[in-house]
Amino acid sequence: MSFELLSEPIRKYIREKRWDSLRPIQVAAISRIIGTDSNYILASRTASGKTEAAFLPILSKVNFNEKGAQVLYISPLIALINDQFTRVENLCKNLDVEVTKWHGEASKSEKNKLVANPRGIVLITPESLEAMFVNAPYNVKELFGNLKYLVVDEIHSFIGTDRGIQLKSLISRLQQINSASFNIIGLSATIGDFNEAKRMTGDEANTKVLLDKTAKEITANFYFFESDKMELPDTLLDDLYGKTKNAKVLIFPNSRGRAEEIAVKLQKISKREKGHAFYFSHHSSVDRELREYIEYFAKNNQRNNFCIACTSTLELGIDIGTVDQVVQIDATSSISSLIQRVGRSGRREGEKSSLLLYATDEWSLLQSLSCWILYQEGFIEPSITSEKPYDILLHQILSIVKQNSGCKHKDLREKIHLNFAFRNISADDVEIILAELVRLDFLELLQDEYIIGIEGEKIVNSRDFYTVFKTEPNLKVVNAGKTIGEIPFSPQVKINENILLAARIWKIIDVDPKSKRIEVAPARDGKKPLFFGRAGMVHSRIRQKMLEVLLNSVEYCELDELSTTALNTIRKEFSIYPIEIIDDDRPLLHKAGETLWFTFQSTKVNRSLHFLLDKAGINCVLDDHSSCLELPLDCPRLSILKDGLYKVLDEIDFHLENIIRLNPSIMEFSKWGVFLPIQYQILLLKERYFDFDQTKAFIDKVNFIEPSAS
C-alpha cells in the first residue's frame, strides 16, 4: 500500500489533514518514485493532487541532512512559486526541511540565509536560475551540486517554446556540475505529446509517464451574440452578468484589453442592478501587488461571489480556491489552453466543471465548437520543439562563457556537446556561430580562450539577458503617485486617449517616453478606450475539424438557439460546395471583385501560403481568423497558380534572405535570432514562423472546389 511506503512524518501530516484516501496519481507516484530511480511525468487533470504526488514520496525518500539543496522546484510563474511555497512548506511541517523561494521578488535575507547554509528545497524560475549561473556560479555549485530531485511544474508550458529549450540547457548544465545524477519529475494536466515531455529530461529512455485518465465531468453551454464592433455587444454583457452574478467566476477573453472591458462593464451593470462589487481584472499588465491581492481574495473569500476577467495569468495552477464557473469569450487558439481554463472550476471532489462559451461571430463559434469536440475526442495538439535551436544556443554560449569567467575553446565545445538541448546542432554550426559572436564583439578570442567582448558585456550585464522570450516594451501607468500597472507601447498611446486597466477607465494625462511612464486620471468623458491584444497560433487539426463540422448535419446539444442558428447559417453558405475529399478539397468563392480561398489550414501554413503568393506576384490578404486568403478576382487557375508557388518554393532561401534584409522585424519572434548569421536566421524562419514542408504537401494535393451549379 502506497501510504505505508511514506515516512512517518508524512503519514502524520496526512492523518492531521484527515484525507479520506490518496488520489490515483498519488498512489501511482508514491510507489514508483520511492521504489525506482527513473524520471517521471505525472499527468492528470487540474486539482488532482499532482504537487503532493511528487512531494510526498520525495520528502519520504530524500535525506535532507546532506549538504546542499536536495530538491529544486522550477515553475513558469513567480505567482505559482508563491502559491506552491505555502503548499510545500505545509507538507514539511513535521520535517526539519527549509523551503526557500528564489526569484526577483523574493526576500533577499532568505536568499542570503540559503547561500550561507545550503539545504532543503528551493523554488525558482528558469530566469532566476539563469541569473544565478551568470552572476553567482559558485552559488550554483554550492546550492545545487548535490541535488536529488528536480521538479518541473506545468511542464507543458515549456514544451515547444524557446523558454523550454533554455530550461533543457539549464537542466543539462546542472547535470554537468552535479556530484551524482538527479531525478526529474514533470507535472502537467495537458500534454499533447508525451515523447516531447520525456525529452525535457534529457534521458527519454529512463523517463516514464504516469497518466491518470480519470475524467472530470464538464457541462458546456454555447451562446452566440453577433458583433462586428471592437466592443462586446451590450446584449452579451447583460446575458453574461445574469448567468454569473450569483457565482464565483473566472472569465477568459483572449486579450488584456478585452479582460479590462469585461471587468469594467460588468461592474457597471452590477452597480446598476445593486449586485456585488467584486469585479476584477487579472493579467500581466496589472500591478503585481494588486494581482496578489486578487488571488488572496479569491482563495480566502468564503462568503462573497466574485468575477475575475483574466488572461493566461490564471490559466496555470495558481490556487485561487473554489470557482463555480469558467467563461470563455470567443475561441481559444488551442485545445490545451481550453482544458487548462475549464479545469479551474469544479475543483472539489465530485463536483462538475462548468464552462460557458460565448462567440461574437460564426468563425469563432465554429472554432470554439471544434476545440470542444476535439477535447471530447481526447485530442490535444502536440507541441513541436525546435530540432536545431541556433538562437538559444547563441544565448547559452554567452551565458556559459560568463559563468566560467572565460572558457577555453576546447572546453566550451565540450560543454555544448554534452548539453542535450543542442545535441542535433553540428560542431561545424557551433564554430560558425562562435565566429559570428567574435565578429559582433560579443565574444573575444584570446589565444585559445573565449571571454566576453565589449559589446557582449553590455548584453550579459543587462537584466534582460536572463530571458529568452521577447518582452514588449511596456509603459508604467501611474495615478497620483500610485502604480496601476503597465501597458504595451503603441503609437496609439497619446495624451487624452482613454485606456482600460485594473478594471477602471483612465484618461492619459501625460506620456514620458524617456522614463517609460504614463500619468493617468480617472476618465469621466465617456470616450471609448484603446484595446490591446494578439491572436494565437491555431493547429491544422482544429481547422480540419471546423470543415468537418461545416459539412456534417449533426445537432450539438451544447448550443443554444442563437448558436444553432448561426452554425446552420454558415453551414448553408458552404453547402453549395461539392466537397468529397476532406483532406484535399477546399472551397473557392468568387464575389464582389475578389476570390476567397478557404484553406482550413494551420496558422503557420496560412502564413506560408500568403508569403508564397506575394512572392509569386499575386496580391492577397490573409484572414487567419476564418482561414481565408482573399485573392484577386482574376487569380490564375489552379495549375498555373501551383506552378508559380512551386517556383517560389524552389528559391525560398533567396526570398527569405531578402525579406530579412528589407524587413528585419520579421525576426521579432526570436529574441536572440537577430544576432545569428543570415543563413541561420533563414533556418529559424522556416522552422518557427513558416511551415513550407506542410505547405508544399498541401499545395501538392489541394483541389479548388467552386460552388455547384445547382
pLDDT digit string (tens) for 596-629? 999 999 999 999 999 999 999 998 888 899 999 9
Topology alike, domains 2-211 and 218-376: yes
DSSP 8-state class, residue 635: P
DSSP 8-state class, residue 707: P
Q: How far apart are CA 246 and CA 307, in angstroms?
A: 10
pTM for the predicted model, two decimal places: 0.87
pLDDT tens figures, 377-400: 988 888 888 899 999 999 999 999
pLDDT tens figures, 144-183: 999 999 999 999 889 989 999 999 999 999 999 997 899 9
Residues 6+ apart with CB under 8 A from 668: 470
Q: Choose among 389, 354, 51: nearest CA to 217.
A: 354
- Cβ count within 10 A of residue 111: 18
Query: What's the whole-number mean pLDDT along residues 80-89?
Result: 88
Q: Is the pLDDT of residue 56 over 60?
A: yes
**Backbone phi and psi for residue 539, each to the nearest 5 degrees, phi listed first:** -75, 150
Q: Is the pLDDT of residue 27 over 70?
A: yes
* Residue of 180 and 646 predicted with greater confidence: 646
At position 111, the amino acid (one-letter code) is K
At position 276, the amino acid (one-letter code) is H
**Percent of the chain at pLDDT exceeding 70:** 95
Q: Calculate the average pLDDT of the chain.
A: 89
Q: Which residues partner with 529 through β-bridges?
A: 498
Q: How far apart are CA 58 and CA 396, in angstroms?
A: 30
Q: How far apart are CA 695 and CA 688, in angstroms?
A: 14
Query: What's the whole-number mean pLDDT along residues 57-68?
Result: 94
Look at 60-74, 171-185, 293-307, 565-579 and tell me which has the smallest mean pLDDT.
Answer: 293-307
Please tell me the predicted confidence (pLDDT) of residue 611. 94
Per-domain residue ranges of the chain:
2-211, 218-376, 390-466, 578-705
Burial of 43 (0-12, 13-18, 19+ CB in 10 A): buried
Please tell me the predicted confidence (pLDDT) of residue 532. 52
Answer for the pair 117, 128: CB distance below 8 angstroms, yes or no: no
CATH number of 218-376: 3.40.50.300
The set of cell numbers assigned to 186 is 514533470
CATH number of 390-466: 1.10.10.10
Q: How far apart are CA 204 and CA 186, in angstroms?
A: 13
pLDDT band per the 50, 70, 90 thresholds, residue 317:
low
- Cβ count within 10 A of residue 510: 11
**Backbone phi and psi for residue 187, each to the nearest 5 degrees, phi listed first:** -120, 135
Look at 105-114, 187-196, 348-357 and tell me which has the smallest mean pLDDT.
Answer: 348-357
pLDDT tens figures, 425-459: 999 999 999 999 999 999 999 999 999 999 999 99
Please tell me the predicted confidence (pLDDT) of residue 577. 92
Look at 93-107, 337-351, 550-564 and tell me which has the smallest mean pLDDT.
Answer: 337-351
At position 710, the amino acid (one-letter code) is S
* Residue of 529 and 153 predicted with greater confidence: 153
Q: How far apart are CA 377 and CA 372, in angstroms?
A: 9
pLDDT tens figures, 541-552: 999 999 999 999
- Cβ count within 10 A of residue 273: 12
Please tell me the predicted confidence (pLDDT) of residue 591. 77
For strands 585-591 and 594-598, give the pairing.
Answer: antiparallel
Query: Highest mean pLDDT range out of 480-484, 533-537, 553-557?
Result: 553-557
Q: Is the pLDDT of residue 352 over 80?
A: no
pLDDT tens figures, 469-525: 876 667 888 888 888 887 766 655 778 888 777 767 888 888 887 778 889 888 877
Q: Is the pLDDT of residue 530 over 70?
A: no
Burial of 232 (0-12, 13-18, 19+ CB in 10 A): buried
Q: How far apart are CA 226 and CA 234, in angstroms?
A: 11
What is the greatest pairwise CA distance in the chain? Answer: 82
pLDDT band per the 50, 70, 90 thresholds, residue 217:
confident
pLDDT band per the 50, 70, 90 thresholds, residue 231:
confident
The set of cell numbers assigned to 192 is 499533447
CATH number of 2-211: 3.40.50.300
Sign of CA dihedral 491, 496, 500, 501: positive
